[in-house]
Amino acid sequence: MIKVAVIGASGYTGLELIKMIINHPHFELSYVATSEGGVTLTELHPSLKGVIERDVYKADAKELAKNCELAFLALPHQTAMGFVKELMALDVKVVDLSADYRLKQETYEAHYCEHIDVENLDHAVYGLPEMYRDSIREARLVANPGCYPTAAILGLLPFVSYIDENYPIFIDAKSGVSGAGKKCTSSTHYIAINENIFAYKPFAHRHEPEIHEKLFLKSNKSFDINFVPHLIPATRGELIDAYMLITQEIDPIAVLKAYYKDEPFVRIFEGPVDIKSCAGTNFCDIYAQVKGNKLYVNSSIDNIVRGSSSQAIANANLMMGLAENAGIPNIAYVP
């Protein structure tokens, strides 16, 4: 068994990671930590009572390195890079779920903060297997993508050679409340979100430059990405509606099927997709339609599973020479 750690076990993504690791055929959960420690897993997550009993420590890179070959970091940006720097020096492989290693230095610092680990940033691999699977297999540090970029990039990738870069791409995105994290705020309070929907950070969300940068690296086209996210009254799930102009006539479903014919976690639909059909899975569901020179792309994922935890497990599997789908759920949470 491969011994692994989870740092940042208190949040929703930490819980999802732990649930998958417990049932993983090749991983053993050997170290669990938060920034403070001093509790048990069942105190953090009562749903684990009777399933796993484990002390939760105050995060310490040296202690982790004594017990584990690989660490999952479910930490906020800026906090994560400090641990990564230590773990890399201790020869521990890392899947980082924060934003700290997803972007080039200039892009990251323009939207987050000063980067204190540029050396490792230069060697990090972006953890979207459909784009960088071979590089992930050789990586010591993988930057798990953001949830919105995962759904948006997977939807748009097959069409980059057809999109007219002289016109903007508009992305209307919607996510369940779990994407906002465990800490309650005025906008995620039950009274605020129940029977409600609203946009937040239009044209200013940090995932917009992530989508732009990755599409540019793939296509060498500097698309004008206009991204507007919305919070919806759902626990989990994410839906992307993207609108753009194309330069030639295409059959969009045929394009999608050809592009993703060998991808186990991308499903192509003949009609619009929904969030419930992929809830709790690593699938990204995609549909597309054209009207004249206008292209509509519709994609959905589970924001805290494919958009975070199960994608992290897939990346870890590749890094450790395992089957990509090992320990990953593939049956949706539907009635």
What's 69-97 look like in SS3?
Answer: CEEEECCCCCHHHHHHHHHHHCCCEEEEC
Q: Does the domain made of 148-303 have the CATH classification 3.30.360.10? A: yes
Map residue 99 onto helix, strand or coil. coil
Residue 190 pLDDT grade (very low, low, confident, very high; cuts 50, 70, 90)? confident
What pLDDT is stored for residue 185 in this prediction? 81
What pLDDT is stored for residue 193 in this prediction? 86
Of 240, 296, 283, whose CA–CA distance to 129 is shortest? 283
Alpha carbons 239 and 113: distance in angstroms, whole number: 29
Pairing between strand 55-58 and 27-34?
parallel
Element spanning 285, H or E: strand 284-291
Mean pLDDT, all residues of the chain: 95
What pLDDT is stored for residue 182 in this prediction? 74
- CA 327 to chain CA centroid, nearest Å: 17
Q: Contact at 8 Å (CB) between 80 and 96?
A: yes
Q: Does the domain made of 2-123 have the CATH classification 3.40.50.10610? A: no
Sign of CA dihedral 13, 15, 21, 23: negative
Q: Which residues contact 299 (CB under 8 A, 6 or more apart)?
A: 151, 152, 154, 155, 239, 240, 242, 273, 284, 285, 286, 287
What pLDDT is stored for residue 155 in this prediction? 98
Residue 284 among the catalytic residues: no
Element spanning 170, H or E: strand 169-175
Query: Following DSSP, what letter does each residue of 9-28 receive, concatenated?
Result: TTSHHHHHHHHHHHT-SSEE
Residues 197-256: tens digit of each pLDDT = 999 999 999 999 999 999 999 999 999 999 999 999 999 999 999 999 999 999 999 999
- CA 113 to chain CA centroid, nearest Å: 20
Q: Which two tokens stand for residue 197?
A: 């929907």
Residues 272-304: tens digit of each pLDDT = 999 999 999 999 999 999 999 999 999 999 999
Alpha carbons 14 and 27: distance in angstroms, whole number: 15
Average pLDDT of the residues in 118-128:
95
What pLDDT is stored for residue 65 in this prediction? 96
What pLDDT is stored for residue 28 in this prediction? 97
What pLDDT is stored for residue 192 in this prediction? 83
**pLDDT at residue 35 above 80?**
yes
What pLDDT is stored for residue 179 in this prediction? 79
What pLDDT is stored for residue 269 in this prediction? 98
Alpha carbons 295 and 162: distance in angstroms, whole number: 10
Residues 37-88: tens digit of each pLDDT = 999 999 999 999 999 999 999 999 999 999 899 999 999 998 999 999 999 9
- Domain boundaries, given as residue ranges, for the chain: 2-123, 148-303
Angle between helices 147-156 and 207-219 (to 10 degrees): 30
**pLDDT at residue 335 above 90?**
no
Alpha carbons 61 and 51: distance in angstroms, whole number: 26
Residues 147-179: tens digit of each pLDDT = 999 999 999 999 999 999 999 999 999 999 987
Catalytic residue among 68, 147, 278, 284: 147
What pLDDT is stored for residue 334 in this prediction? 82
**pLDDT at residue 116 above 90?**
yes
Phi then psi dihedrals of residue 101, to 5 deg: -125, 15
